[in-house]
Chain A
Amino acid sequence: MWQFFHKLGSPKWFFGISARFMPWLLAGGVLLLMAGVVWGLAFAPKDYLQGNSYRIIFIHVPTAFMAQSIYIMMASAAVVTLVWRMKLADVFVKAVAPVGLVLTFLALFTGAVWGKPTWGTWWIWDARLTSMLILLFLYGGVIALDRAINDEKSAARAVAVLVLVGVVNIPIIKYSVEWWNTLHQPASFKLTEKPTMPPEMWVPLLLSVLGLYLIFGWLACIRMQTEILSREQRTRWVKEFVMRGRS
């Protein structure tokens, strides 16, 4: 157990092992996502109320789901960074923060596109929309802080503190925003609750969520590899790796 734990901290070991399962992540992810999206867009039944416009759900929900779950993963990695000072954990946080930012933006964007035909407006100050917007700000803050600190080690630890403060705040923000919203207008956003959907709709949705998860895994690996190479550029194994690639 502990040997595995120590190995996990070694960038070199991760570099080797991740290269082995990355193709599988990518292949599985593309396959599932394609299956989910094609099934959802072309074959799933129409919504009785919204017609075809609801189909953006097959892109909207996976991105929104990932946007939140990436932040939780980052928070777990932040704990590891602060407690065990594991190099890989902060490589992970640094590598996936921009991915989280982009996915949050996509979730908001697809939500706006969906909102226009359904609610008649691009944006309302609904609880969910607002808390996703704040999540976007939090990602932006994490990236900005990371870029602002030159020293790698202190950047990693400062970012870890910020991510943890953010994760304490996320439930508070979520509930405060929900409370604030319900004062003005009742939630009209029950559509995404799974039990209300027939299986022909939620199975492709589940497939595309899983597919995006795998693709995120691949993206995280390749971004972490890039980060590891740039951090460890002075070590022998990186030099050997680069030379091998050239010959």
Chain B
Amino acid sequence: MNAEARPEVRLASSSVGALAAMKGVFARDMKVAFRQRQDLLNPLLFFIMVVTLFPLGVSPEVSFLREAGAGILWVAALLSVLLSLDHLFRHDFDDGTLEQLVLQPQPLFLLILAKTIAHWMLTGLPLVVLTPVLGVMVHLDGNSIAVLCLTLLIGTPVLSLIGAIGAALTLGLRSAGVLLSLLIIPLYIPVLIFGTGTVAAAAEGAAVGAYLALLGAFLMLALTLAPFAAAAALKISLSNG
């Protein structure tokens, strides 16, 4: 990777406010990502391929797909986010940008929050956009697809935020990828349960407001706590090297 492709973090003084610093980190991450477009596409292709495996591997019956479709899409989205987490800090760690970030006078957890939001915009959000197409392919009805998109819209940021902790903990380790999955999947289970539960309730005609509120509560909890844990983990991982 040449230096030209990776803009530097330009916020080196304490006169820059925390919000401006977050904006700077966010803008930089977006810029870096769009210079490596293939990396953006890969999680999406992975998402589509995993969804394809289920009709081929289990059953192409309409009744099965309608029953399991929401779960399949959720699991595929979860795995796809999991796979993309490695990118969250890895490149910045390799070229030293991450150390510069830790040395900034602005609070590290805010900068990590900005990075995580960028990560979600680049992986979680495209998955949500792609969901209606795949939803039709697994024979979900219109209402279920709408609810599914809504749950993914609330749920995928939680996945990114929790994942940031795992990515920070496993930074710079051998076989970090598998380890990351081992650490993070148990923590993803509640999000998966409520995400698919919401769609199941919608399919039965029940009210989904309460389920969505619970998912929203997860998002708030992850939004407020996960960046702190990830910042602590990042500092530990950096002192390790």
Chain B residues near A165 (CB, 8 Å)?
Answer: 162, 165, 187, 229
Q: Assuming the A-B contacts A148-B170, A158-B233, are A141 and B182 also in contact, with contact meaning beta carbons closer than 8 angstroms in the complex?
A: yes
Mark contacts of A29-64 with chain B using CB atoms, 8 A cut-off: 1 yes-contact digit, 0 otherwise: 000000000000000000000000000000000000
Q: How far is the CA of A223 from the CA of B228 in the complex (A)?
A: 32
Question: Contact: B186 with A141, CB < 8 Å?
Answer: yes
Q: Of B186, B225, B232, which one neighbours A137 at CB under 8 angstroms?
A: B186
Question: Contact: B194 with A168, CB < 8 Å?
Answer: no
A169 CB-CB contact with B under 8 Å: yes
User: Distance (Å) between the CB of B77 and the closest chain A CB?
Assistant: 18
How many residue pairs, one in A and one in B, have C-beta atoms under 8 Å apart?
Answer: 74
Q: Of A134, A148, A183, which one neighbours B179 at CB under 8 angstroms?
A: A148
Q: Which residues, 179 to 202 on B, are CB-close (under 8 Å) to A?
A: 179, 182-183, 185-187, 189-190, 193-194, 197, 200
B38 CB-CB contact with A under 8 Å: no
Question: Contact: A164 with B240, CB < 8 Å?
Answer: no
Measured as residues with beta carbon below 8 angstroms from the partner, the interface class of chain B is: 20 to 34
Q: Which residues, 190 to 226 on B, are CB-close (under 8 Å) to A?
A: 190, 193-194, 197, 200, 218, 225
Question: Contact: A161 with B170, CB < 8 Å?
Answer: no
Question: Contact: B197 with A180, CB < 8 Å?
Answer: yes
Q: How far is the CA of A110 from the CA of B179 in the complex (A)?
A: 29
Number of chain A residues close to chain B: CB under 8 A: 28
Question: Contact: A161 with B169, CB < 8 Å?
Answer: yes
Q: How far is the CA of A160 from the CA of B137 in the complex (A)?
A: 44
Closest to A175 in B: B190
Closest to B235 in A: A157
A177 CB-CB contact with B under 8 Å: yes
Chain B residues near A168 (CB, 8 Å)?
Answer: 225
Chain A residues near B186 (CB, 8 Å)?
Answer: 134, 137-138, 141, 166, 169, 173
Q: Assuming the A-B contacts A168-B225, A176-B193, A179-B197, are A141 and B183 also in contact, with contact meaning beta carbons closer than 8 angstroms in the complex?
A: yes
A-B contact pairs, 24 of them (CB 8 A): A82-B232, A134-B186, A134-B189, A137-B182, A137-B185, A141-B183, A145-B170, A145-B179, A154-B240, A158-B169, A158-B240, A161-B236, A162-B183, A165-B229, A166-B187, A168-B225, A172-B218, A176-B190, A176-B193, A177-B190, A177-B193, A179-B194, A179-B197, A183-B197
